[in-house]
Amino acid sequence: MKRILIVGAGGQIGSELISLLRKLYGNSNVVGADVRECKDLGQDGPFVVLNALDAQSYGYTVNKYRIDTIFNLVALLSAVGEKDPQLAWNINMGALMNSLDVARQYECKLFTPSSIGAFGPQSPKDRTPQDTIMRPTTIYGVCKVTGELLSDYYHLRYGVDTRSVRFPGIISNVTMPGGGTTDYAVEIYYDAVKDKKFVCPVSPNVYMDMMYMPDALNACVQLMEADPARLKHRNGFNITAMSFTPEIIAAEIRKHIPEFEIAYEIDPTKESIARSWPNSLDDTCAREEWGWSPKWTLTDTTEDMLYVIGKKYEQGLF
Ligand code: SER
């Protein structure tokens, strides 16, 4: 990776990945792109407004900046996808197809996140294996499985260096996620700091995999830097750092804010999506093939999230 383009740089992952990559590879070598103007991202390095569905502008940008690696982070997430499945398909698959074609044309490496959402109710629930039955029941999951297959196909057929991980819910404190089923695990910290209570949209006992942002960013870099000769899989690797229920995260928060309360107002869409996903993934292949090893547990994540969000609240930032 020498000249990098992040498409969807204004989102939850992109807005933090861009800072890390600029630190590692040099500010001028990491171009941010988003469908909206993002003033902050243009301060330290190049930024372009780019609609990933516009193949011509996408190719123009890759050519202009002599890009060799693309991170395609464009996505409509699981819960919001169910409101307009056709739109979710058009955005998620349109951005991926253009990324694959541009990567093929300009000989770029391509990273596209897959998700725990690629699994479905028939997948084994606990320690869900790398290679197993998928059959997701959301349009988001259908896009992710299709995306994994298409990315493998472009590798086999055209030799494009496509790589991907199946991300769990990502906990972070810079840019809010939007429209995902795992978003509650971010929102709970903000509400805990501000109101000392949280109304949770999924049931107290539903397990989902999660990960703190620093581990997610390291996964992106580590996988893209991995020796391709070691990769038996490509799209996408199971990775996880922790698995918990709303009850468990609430208990962890209470260790810092004893008066914290959690109530439940179940959102039927999020609830049924959460129940269709694994409780926990088996990430052995990622560990063996490219050295995946997460650092952050729920305990340290909670301590850090409450500290950072507490500071933001004191400064009147939300
Ligand atoms: N965070 C995503 C969602 O909840 C899962 O990949 O939709």
Q: Delimit the domains of the chain by residue range.
A: 4-168+213-238, 170-210+241-280+296-314
> pLDDT by residue (tens digit) across 287-317?
999 999 999 999 999 999 999 999 999 999 9
113 ligand 1 Cβ < 6 A: no
Q: How many Å lie between the centroid of ligand 1 and the Cα of residue 207?
A: 14
Q: Is residue 68 very low, low, confident or very high in pLDDT (cuts 50, 70, 90)?
A: very high
Ligand 1 pocket member 8 (CB < 6 A) = no
Q: Is the Cβ–Cβ distance between 146 and 84 less than 8 Å?
A: no
140 tagged catalytic: yes
Q: What is the spatial distance between Cα 258 and Cα 82, in angstroms, rounded to a whole number?
A: 36
For 231, list phi and psi in degrees, rounded to 5: -85, 110
pLDDT tens by residue, 11-41 = 999 999 999 999 999 999 999 999 999 989 9
Q: Tell me the average pLDDT of the chain.
A: 97
The proportion of the chain whose per-residue pLDDT surpasses 70, expressed as a percent, equals 100
Ligand 1 atom closest to the CA of 81, numbered from 1: 7
CA atoms in the 13 A half-sphere facing the CB of 28: 0
Q: What is the pLDDT of residues 114-138, one digit of tens each?
A: 999 999 999 999 999 999 999 999 9
Q: Which residues contact 70 (CB under 8 A, 6 or more apart)?
A: 4, 5, 6, 7, 62, 99, 102, 103, 108, 109, 110, 111
Let me know if 263 is exposed, middle or buried by CB neighbors in 10 A (0-12, 13-18, 19+).
Answer: exposed
SS3 state at 154: helix
How many other β-carbons are positioned within 10 Å of the β-carbon of residue 207? 18
Of the pLDDT bands very low, low, confident and very high (cuts 50, 70, 90), residue 249 is: very high
Ligand 1 atom nearest 116 alpha carbon: 6
User: What is the CATH T-level fold of the domain 4-168+213-238, as seen in this structure?
Assistant: Rossmann fold (3.40.50)
Query: What pLDDT does residue 142 have?
Result: 98
Pick the CATH number of 170-210+241-280+296-314 from 2.60.40, 3.30.310, 1.10.3470, 3.90.25: 3.90.25
Quick one: pLDDT band at residue 265, thresholds 50, 70, 90? very high
Predicted confidence at residue 148, as pLDDT, reads 98
Give this prediction's pTM: 0.97
pLDDT digits (tens, 9 = 90+) for 150-200: 999 999 999 999 999 999 999 999 999 989 999 999 999 999 999 999 999
The CB of 117 under 6 Å from ligand 1? The reply is: yes
Which pLDDT does position 126 carry in this prediction?
A: 98
Find the Cα–Cα–Cα–Cα dihedral 308, 309, 313, 318, rounded to 10°.
130
Q: According to the model, what pLDDT value does residue 199 have? A: 98
Closest ligand 1 atom number to CA of residue 169: 1
146: confidence class by pLDDT, cuts 50, 70, 90:
very high
How far away, in angstroms, is 278 Cα from ligand 1 center? 12
Compute, in angstroms, the gap from residue 178 CA to the centroid of ligand 1. Answer: 9
Q: What is the pLDDT of residue 247?
A: 98
Instruction: Tell me which of 13, 115, 145, 269 to substitute to probe ligand 1's pocket, judged by most ligand atoms within 8 Å of the beta carbon.
Output: 115
Tell me if 4-168+213-238 shares its fold with 170-210+241-280+296-314: no
pLDDT of residue 21: 98
